[in-house]
Amino acid sequence: MVFEFETLATDGRARAGVFHTPHGEFPTPVFAPVGTVASVKAVPPRSLHEIDVTLVLANTYHLHLRPGDELVRDMGGLHQFMAWDGPMLTDSGGFQVFSLTSINRIDDDGVTFRSHIDGRSLRFTPESATAIQQNLGADIIMCFDECSKPTDRQIVERATKRTHDWAVRCREAHPDDSRQALFGIVQGGIFPDLRQKSAEFLQTLNFPGYAIGGLAVGETKQEMYDTLDMTVPVLPKGKPRYLMGVGEPDDLAHGVMRGIDIFDCVMPTRVARHGAALTPNGRINLRKVIYTRDNSPLQEDCDCYCCRTFTKAYLSHLVRSKELLGHYLLSLHNIRFLVNHMQNMRNAIIAGRLSTYVNAFLKRYGRPA
């Protein structure tokens, strides 16, 4: 199976396309909910299909620790193990290099971790991170990279060099993209010259897709948007572009406008577990007293099971009672909200009216373009 990216329409720098994988195709731009440990929290695969999710993400680091990537391989790979028959992406563990700095040690060869589960020591290298992802069997896999604080140039320069060296080693460990597509990850912090250098270097390795990493990790929103402005034009037009770990509705709009095709984030399910729901007018907290007698749905024009069936009053009761059903319903709605947002932007690109849609959305959501 050959991975292929088709661009069907453009509007400015934004584009509507299709990416073909061994487990089917998915339309772009696309938002992928995160199933860190082979489970999108509280939402079964059947429900994901019902709300038009076409791509999910799982986490290499966490699945290596538990249940183990070799076990997943022996169970038929992630698709069979978690009963998800659509396209799937795994990250490489590179973000954990950043997020778990207190329990890891980085050197030029790789990273030594102390497991947050049982304290045992383990080692990640470009080769082992690639092998773990091969065992997991996702359609799209990622190079092992070093994500760093994006505003400290000295740290970013060192991390970018390591990312390039590790990308070469990942490519050598995975030279054939016929069954799994290995994406390179552009680093460089908020610095234009480093981002351009990184994008240009990675293209010499001829990856079937390119991710932009090291954003939404401490810089301002405007710095993130400016970094996309300087990075996206340097990436090849005929291959998908993936902005890692970004999922706020306003950031999705700004990213699509700048030419990003793929997004992922834990946000919609994480905030749901804390009683928050995404709406066209912004995020609302169902713990507030004003919702205890509110007989309206979360969103009048949303077609998800939550909005078609239940009131804010009932959802507020579930949240206050810490009922698991509340986690499911709010997660379902929040993911559907983002999927619908992406579908609306894709349709707007095809119709040539993306800026009109984005300006109207951001004005209503509370963050003008």
List, by residue number, the catalytic residues.
Answer: 91, 264
* Burial (CB count within 10 angstroms: exposed 0-12, middle 13-18, buried 19+), residue 104: middle
The answer to whether the CB of 249 falls within 8 A of the CB of 363 is no
| Cα–Cα distances in angstroms (integers) from residue 39 to residues 79, 129, 236, 257, in the given order | 11, 20, 33, 30
Q: The tokens of 64 are what?
A: 């290596």
Distance, first Cα to last Cα, the chain: 41
d(CA 97, CA 111): 7
Taking residue 290's Cβ as centre, other Cβ atoms within 10 Å add up to 11
Q: Please tell me what DSSP assigns to residue 289.
A: G
C-alpha closest to that of 142 among 55, 194, 73, 209? 209
d(CA 125, CA 128): 5
| Cα–Cα distances in angstroms (integers) from residue 19 to residues 87, 175, 231, 261, in the given order | 10, 20, 21, 10
d(CA 91, CA 36): 10
Q: Please tell me what DSSP assigns to residue 22.
A: T
d(CA 115, CA 296): 46
d(CA 11, CA 354): 7
